[in-house]
Structure 1
Amino acid sequence: MGNSKSGALSKELLEDLKSNTTYTEEQLYAWYQAFLKECPSGCISREQFESIYARFFPDANPKAYAQHVFRSFDSDSNGTLDFKEYIVALHLTSSGKTIEKLEWAFSLYDVDKNGSITKNEINEIVKSIFNMISQEDQKNLPEDENTPEKRTEKIWDFFGKREKDKITEGEFIKGVMDNKNILRLIQFDEPQKIQNRMKQKKQ
């Protein structure tokens, strides 16, 4: 897999990504070519990110969730994702270590980026997750978690919090590590499926 057109991917960035993700040099070059094809400017705007998500969910409304995911990955808050932010995002959502994934999940739920999560923030993310679940699938959810409000209550109860309390990152990670049920309730596992589809497209 060659060095054709790979000059733009600097050695420094390549080494950085190799040491911080599980991707090989060949994979990174392949991702980079695909990234530039999709985003010739070298950056993904929030709108582009939303449209990529929308393509994978023709039967749902992924806009709100995509916006939250985008915010959580836009590490310098400049409104675009560069190649490094994009690859780190892919790594975290598909093959990162549990602790890394939970740190990312915390940043997803920490909507105002103030270092703690409120019940309202949990409800906002859970609502956006429900927009991604087809009406048909929603009918099959357990009775005590078949609406965003019920699911939010359930998560909040797991953490043993009062209405106006907040959850710190440490509490969040420990709570989820200690209780697999919370993990199931806070996550939306479609990003893995997106990853698989994107890999298939590139082969």
Structure 2
Amino acid sequence: MGNAKSSAMSKEILEDLKLTTKFSQNELSQWYENFQKQCPSGRISPEEFENIYTRFFPDSDAKTYAQHVFRSFDTNDDGTLDFKEYIIALHMTSGGRTERKLEWAFSLFDVDKNGYITKSEVTEICQAIFKLIPKDEVSKLPKDENTPEKRAEKLWSFFNKKDNERLAEGEFIQGVMENDSALRLIQYEPVK
């Protein structure tokens, strides 16, 4: 990102983010200013990211899920998030088209980053999602999705794959878009 101590973001990054996100120049400048205050080094560590998630899910164990989300956002695999990665992550998870969100969800489930999802990876992410769900809400879940394993089994069944088969990104996106239950199972929305 160039000089991390700089108080203004580079024009190149600004123009790139204006093209790839829904945020205005003013919004991006405000986000950048806040980012610089929170992360003077210009980077977010995995621990700082986990702390952010913990504040969003105070009644849950968000650490494991935060680790997976961090991995999916760290596009250059350097172990930190810079401002650009952070803003793109924010854009993909808070707005944008459903297909873009599902592209991100695929990267979340693709734990080993090999371009495919396996049933064991689905189970691993479902276990992390389950830790976000407060105990009193778990008891209200349908019987066929009241454990991480049952949730993973139900989700995997929507893709018509055998337990030992892999799922490509296009198949994942199509399978989730064609089934509202699958969309609900790949995430956790707190009860309001």
Q: Percent identity?
A: 61
Partner of 1:199: none
Return the alpha-carbon distance in structure 2 between the equivalents of residues 137 and 30 of structure 1: 36
- Equivalent in the alignment of 1:177: 177
1:187 is the counterpart of 2:192: no
Q: Look up the match of 2:34.
A: 34
Distance 1:46 1:60 in 2: 18
Distance 2:71 2:177 in 1: 24
Q: TM-score, normalising length from structure 2?
A: 0.93
Partner of 2:21: 21
Secondary structure at the aligned position of 2:31 is classed as helix
Q: Is the 8 A contact 1:6 1:29 kept in 2?
A: no
Query: 1:151 Cα shift?
Result: 0.6
Residue 84, structure 1, aligned to residue 84, structure 2: yes
Aligned to 1:102: 102
Whole-Å separation in 1 of the counterparts to 2:102 and 2:159:
15
Please state whether the residue corresponding to 2:132 is helix, strand or coil.
coil
**2:165 aligned residue:** 165
RMSD: 1.5
Larger deviation: 109-118 or 158-167? 158-167
Shift, 1:56, TM fit: 2.1
Structure 1 gaps of 5+ residues are 194-203
Structure with the larger helix share? 1
Question: Given the two structures, how large is their TM-score scaled by the length of structure 1?
Answer: 0.89
User: Which secondary structure state, in structure 2, belongs to the residue aligned with residue 131 of structure 1?
Assistant: helix
**Distance change (3 Å), C-alpha of 1:127 and 1:91:** same
Q: 2:181 is paired with a residue of what secondary structure?
A: helix
Unaligned runs of 5+ in 2: none
Q: Output the CA distance in 1 between the equivalents of 2:7 and 2:65.
A: 34
2:120 corresponding residue in structure 1: 120
SS at match of 2:49: helix
Aligned length: 187
Greater alpha carbon shift after TM alignment, 72-81 vs 151-160: 151-160
Listed as ranges, the matches of 1:132-151 within 5 Å are 132-151=132-151
Q: CA shift at 1:6, angstroms?
A: 7.9
User: Deviation above 6 Å: which 4+ runs of structure 1?
Assistant: none
